[in-house]
Amino acid sequence: STVLAQRMSLLSSKPESNDNYEPYVYLKQRFAWILHVTSLR
């Protein structure tokens, strides 16, 4: 899905100084992926 890819790219772009950002992004990506997969069923 193009929309999902755009979301993933947006979530992947992290600010320079934020140590807690990457785990947060990982959880967001997992959640978005789960929503995407369940929407295909």
Degrees to nearest 5, angle at CA 33 with 29 and 39: 145
Task: Dump pLDDT digits (tens) for 15-28.
Answer: 555 555 677 788 88
Q: What is the pLDDT of residue 8?
A: 66
Exposure of 7 by Cβ count < 10 A (0-12 exposed, 13-18 middle, 19+ buried)?
Answer: middle
pTM of the model: 0.40
Tokens of 21: 């950002």
Query: Residue 4 and residue 22: Cα distance in Å, rounded?
Result: 18
